[in-house]
Structure 1
Amino acid sequence: MSLVHLPPEIRRGVRDVAPLLIGIAPFGLVAGAAAIDAGLTPLQAVGLSVVVFAGASQLAAIDLLGSNAELLVVVLTGAVINLRMLMYSASIAPHFRALRSGWKSLCAYVLTDQAYALSIARYTDAEAELDPRERRRYYLAVGLSLWVVWQCCTLLGIVVGARVPDSWGLAFAVPLVFLSLLIPAITTKPKAIAALVGGGVAVAGEVFAVPLDLGLILGGLAGVVAGVIADERLSTVSGNAESDAGGEP
């Protein structure tokens, strides 16, 4: 079936997500290649990608598995990184109330940053004109497009990674990917403080050999706390400054 003959909301979802698919392709390749470099078998690497389906969590899990971290630590790290999905779920859930439990489960499985952002923007812009079926079609068109491209790129990375010599130093790919995700995201002072504190704690955990490789989890939690505190402090200072300015004759 050609794209022209698909329902309008499916066509729109595929069209809206198309530019983002180009961006996630390199990360999928790195995730697949890094999984092989970390010692996973091709079947294990594919299973990890299908079950987890979360770029940052997947890369973090691969990095920890490569350093022989405890399985519990790997799971907890992935859970901490994906805590934002709870907020996404709470935000988008009202739009899916009319769906059956099976559809809700599928929607939950393919929930990503991109699927959430595009879908919320679409629903907010035209919710009154979209019935539950149309909302489901748009969301799944976005989510499943991301899923298919991610899995295909991960599989390609697995095939390529199995042929890359150890001398190429593929282990550096994962940290470089995280840096490429982190730097564009630092757009405010609270975010910068969160990045510095979180990164500093994680590095300190590695330097001082924190038991069970918990440095990454501690770094993530410390970064969140530091960012929240910094945001509150800066908001208070800004509010006081505005009050003082408003009180001048």
Structure 2
Amino acid sequence: MKKSKLFVKGIIDVLPLLIPVVPFGIILGAIGIELGFSVLETFATSLIIFGGASQIVFLQLFSGGASSIITITSTFVVNSRHLLYGASLSEYLNKLSIGWKIILSYLLTDQAYAVSNIFFEKNKDNDLKHYYLLGSGFILWFVWQIFTFVGIFLGSIVPEELGLAYTIPLTFISLLVSYFRKLDHLIVILISGILSITLYDVPLKSYIILSSFLSLIVAFAIIHLKGNSK
């Protein structure tokens, strides 16, 4: 299969997964303006961070007066799942140049990983398979930038009295809904929430990092216990 066909196939395969990206991008752009960031600052998060949940964390913490270390670290923690994505795909892409790896790492998102992992598994011997990831990652990046800008425009014209900050907790709740189906997931979510409230007054607003770290320990313990019970 030619490079162009692989690129287009990546775009086509990931399109159904882009449906929730549109409203999420709009919400992100509007929230940035609502929290007092300029058009350039809000749009820059989509170009530099390029991760919806982590962008919201960055904007909210920065606007709330958190230190730079806490803001950057928390953003990294939320986006850290991409390290696992990269590790998973590395066996298929290890022969690429460093330039290709940097580009594909930047474009590697949840949706792009979902379709690319399946495609790579079925096409291990195709030396051009990385063009599939390039296509799926690029189209999501393109759509995300467009609808972030749409959200920025809407945020700049929505009356301040209406407010948009309430969409932040609603957005994260929508991301968590799928995890409510399993008891162990629910336990970790509840523990994380309780720890966040309990540790809220710790210095430098580091309660987010501390509660996340302690919750990860609990998750690891649950996985270990489940493994031993089999």
- Given the alignment of the two structures, is residue 212 of structure 1 paired with residue 210 of structure 2, yes or no? no
Corresponding residue of 1:57: 54
The answer to whether the 8 A contact 1:25-1:150 is kept is yes
- Given the alignment of the two structures, is residue 171 of structure 1 paired with residue 171 of structure 2, yes or no? no
Corresponding residue of 1:66: 63
Distance 1:203 1:212, change over 3 A: same
Corresponding residue of 1:143: 137
> 1:204, 1:147 → 2: CA distance?
38
Corresponding residue of 2:27: 30
The answer to whether the 8 A contact 1:199-1:223 is kept is no
Corresponding residue of 2:218: 226
Q: How far has the Cα of 1:23 moved from its partner?
A: 1.3
Q: How far has the Cα of 1:6 moved from its partner?
A: 7.8
Higher radius of gyration, 1 or 2? 1
Q: How far has the Cα of 1:187 moved from its partner?
A: 3.3
Identity of matched residues, %: 33
- The alignment's TM-score, normalised by the length of structure 2, stands at 0.93
Aligned residue for 1:40, secondary structure, equals coil
Corresponding residue of 1:242: none
Corresponding residue of 2:192: 198
Counterpart pick for 2:94 among 92, 97, 101: 97
> 1:73, 1:54 → 2: CA distance?
18
- Which amino acid letter does the alignment assign opposite residue 9 of structure 2? R
Aligned residue for 2:146, secondary structure, equals helix
Q: How far has the Cα of 1:11 moved from its partner?
A: 2.0
- Which amino acid letter does the alignment assign opposite residue 87 of structure 1? L
- Given the alignment of the two structures, is residue 182 of structure 1 paired with residue 182 of structure 2, yes or no? no
- Which amino acid letter does the alignment assign opposite residue 198 of structure 2? A
Corresponding residue of 2:37: 40
- Given the alignment of the two structures, is residue 75 of structure 1 paired with residue 75 of structure 2, yes or no? no
- The alignment's TM-score, normalised by the length of structure 1, stands at 0.87
Q: How far has the Cα of 1:101 moved from its partner?
A: 1.7
> 1:54, 1:230 → 2: CA distance?
28
Question: What's the C-alpha RMSD, in Å, of the aligned pairs?
Answer: 1.7
Q: Which runs of 5+ in 1 are unaligned?
A: 240-249
